[in-house]
Amino acid sequence: MANMGNAANPFLSTYKTPHATAPFDKIKEEHYEPAFEKGMKEHLLEIERITNNPRPATFENTIVPYEAAGRLLSQVSSVFYNLNSAETNDEIMAISQRISPKMSEHHNNISLNEKLFARIKTVYDQKDRLQLDRESLMLMDKIYLSFVNGGANLQDSDKEIYRKLTAELSKLTLDFGQNVLKETNQFELHLTEVSDLAGLPESLCEAATLKAKQKGKEGWIFDLTFPSYAPFMKYSEKRHLREKLYRAYNGRCNQGGEFDNKEIIRKIVETRLRIAQLLGYKNYADYVLRRRMAQNSQNVYELLDQLLNAYKPVALEEVREVNGFASGWERQQVELMPWDWSYYSEKLKNTKFAVNDEMTRPYFELERVKQGVFGLATELFGITFRKNTRIPVYHPEVDAYEVFDENNRFLAVLYTDFFPREGKRQGAWMTEYKGQWKEKGIDSRPHISLVMNFTRPTETKPALLTFDEVNTFLHEFGHGLHGMLSDVVYESLSGTNVYRDFVELPSQLMENFLLEKTFLDRFAVHYQTGEKMPESIIQKLIDAGNFNTGYACVRQLTFGLLDMAWHTLDAPYDGNLHVFEQQATRSTQVLPLIQGSSISTTLSHIFSGGYAAGYYGYKWAEVLDADAFSVFKANGIFNKDIAGKYRENILSKGGTEDPMTLYVRFRGEKPSINALLERNGIKQ
């Protein structure tokens, strides 16, 4: 059977698709495991050729072929793991459980290969005499450190322990993410009384009607996916229903039972700590931060404390204001609970600024928003986007675009995937099916994907986005630009392969444009009348831009502090998870704690994503993006010279140099938090 599968396995022959894109139309579940096996086998043979080379180790015969090895495995992995997030099913999840330990063992077989490390170390030890360019030096450093952090310097007995720990960690993080997805999909709020819809926007009710129809039920179904959950919490007049939904959302994977993540978290944290200490670090944060702009946990805490001191007094004042407003609105004293925050905040925002999602939504029709976002890239960088229906996609709702530069040269393939589905995890992300590299005079261009969970079209309306959804689009598109405009030699340094606390700069910088009238004027038109968004609404959006900014910052600091608390532990934790959370986040507490709620049990960024000991990076990058955008503001937000300088020094460079060096080359100086404080109105 396996051989028959191999004969027709699309992974195992040259892709005959435009730009050698993944042949999604031909890939079936049974193709993955044989392709993984072949990919791992080929990768090991390529490594053997390096280690068996009789010539002395050099950069050209050791580092360069090591960097290029494993292309087939990379092709299979990128498709499989991306679809496991964007279009999964029971079979793919089962395959991931089977393949995960094999992949972990495979990577360990390479990182713990003594002959290979000996050659790499030989080159590394003489790197200062080799007259390498900056990118080659960065590659050398990255590869060497990845081996050291992968256990290459360990004694044989410790290497075996390392193998077991990494295999275990791989499975645990996979289990965590799958539990969150399954528990999210399991819940539905099924309403049959019209009175229970009080306050809810028509568009949300239409989507809930459609969801109920699809499940063969009467009435309306609301669930825990963000386009359903967030507007329900914001608009529902039924406090008991908001509470029910809040408790379901914030109690996921925390109630015992099949999908509970508490024990998995304890094991993940302990396993990461054991790996870090095995490698000579005090804790996991020290292990991670060695290759970050922040460098160490002390610098992370300094940033978080600096921001907490600046924003918490503002957050407390905002909570008092919302609480006072709620009591006035209800004409009785209201004890503000977490499930009340979005509801009364939205009403206060509407009272103060007379602007809300339902007022702006008709001006954010998805196709027009797409034109606006793509058009911004054209304005700044000269790049253009052409839809190509001949490029295979993994779901009918996915679109594929060819991207061209200002000279009409092919730059990248861009996939867009906008709507929630049962097989797609929550949130929004940019990823790649292929990175960018240069080899033998050929510039091999990247295949980038933007995956989101936006408001769907209904039977009567096109997809009309909220302001926050447009903001998310710009954010992920910023990551996409980092990938599409990459211009490096080595794939492992291309695009978003940068320090984790630098990677959010390009994404967050793009968000700044959304509060600029000259940008909104270009695409924000009413989907029925074609009229531009009125200047009065744009001004209200700008005025409301810093509404509850203190609360929003403190919320992010909560996640950052909790992440650091878990990963600065220097001994295993066997106490109560909720007690630990409360102690870690006490300084950011501005609303009552709710029994049964947990942040950690669904915090996929740090327990199944790549942000362990790195969640602070969002705030770090916010300091950077505010500082960087101040340059655009000072010179004109569509200034091509500034955009060119930004592209040349940051977007195109990937991880080829130290990020602070790149930033200073663009900015002229190191960043400070002043621009962020000014943007948020904390400091005049």
Task: Quick: pLDDT tens for 34-71.
Answer: 999 999 999 999 999 999 999 999 999 999 999 999 99
> C-alpha angle 208/213/215, rounded to 5°?
100
User: Could you give the angle at the alpha carbon of 304 between the alpha carbons of 299 and 307, nearest 5°?
Assistant: 125
Question: What's the confidence (pLDDT) of residue 271?
Answer: 98
Q: Does residue 49 sit in the same domain as residue 92?
A: yes
Q: Which stretch of DSSP H or E encloses residue 535?
A: helix 535-543
Q: Could you tell me if 119 and 226 lie in one domain? A: no
Tell me, what DSSP letter sits at residue 572? -
**CA nearest 77: which of 14, 33, 108, 25?**
33
Looking at residue 545, its pLDDT comes to: 87
Last residue of a domain, which of 153, 178, 209? Answer: 153
pLDDT tens profile 289-348? 988 999 999 999 999 999 999 999 999 999 999 999 999 999 999 999 999 999 999 999
pLDDT at 626: 95
- Does the pLDDT value for residue 616 go beyond 70? yes
- Domain end (from 509, 530, 547): 547
For position 7, what pLDDT does the model report? 61
Q: What is the CA radius of gyration of the chain?
A: 25
> What pTM does this model have?
0.85
In sequence order, the β-bridge partners of residue 434 are 447
Amino acid, res. 273: L
At residue 6, the pLDDT reads 54
In this model, does residue 184 exceed pLDDT 90?
Answer: yes
Catalytic residue chosen out of the listed positions 476, 491, 516, 622: 476
pLDDT of residue 149: 87
Cβ-contact 489, 441 below 8 angstroms? no
Average pLDDT over residues 67-96: 96
Look at residue 3 and tell me whether its pLDDT is greater than 90.
no
pLDDT in tens, 384-411: 999 999 999 999 999 999 999 999 999 9
Summarised one tens digit per residue, pLDDT across range 572-614 is 999 999 999 999 999 999 999 999 999 999 999 999 988 999 9
64-80: pLDDT as tens digits: 999 999 999 999 999 99
Task: CATH number of the domain at 492, please.
Answer: 1.10.1370.40
The pLDDT value given to residue 4: 44
Could you give the CA distance from residue 151 to residue 159 in angstroms, rounded to a whole number?
Answer: 6
Interval 164-191 mean pLDDT: 94
Q: 78 or 540: whose pLDDT is higher?
A: 78
Q: Is residue 229 part of a domain?
A: yes
Question: Which strand ranges, in their side-by-side order, compose the sheet holding 384-387?
Answer: 384-387, 399-404, 410-417, 447-451, 429-434
Half-sphere exposure for 23 (CA within 13 Å, toward CB): 16
Domain co-membership, 407 together with 512: yes
Of 520, 547, 574, the last residue of a domain is 547
- Identify which of 301, 243, 256 has the alpha carbon closest to the alpha carbon of residue 601: 256
Whether residues 368 and 484 share a domain: the answer is yes
Please report whether residue 588 resides in a domain.
no
Give kind and range of the element (H or E) at residue 432. Answer: strand 429-434
| Residue 63 DSSP label | I
Residue 425 and residue 470 in one domain: yes
| pLDDT value for 2 | 41
Domain that holds residue 75: 2-153
Is 476 among the catalytic positions?
yes
Q: What is the mean pLDDT of residues 240-268?
A: 97
Residues 12 and 124 in one domain: yes
Cβ(262)–Cβ(577) below 8 Å: yes
pLDDT band at 673 (very low <50, low <70, confident <90, very high): confident
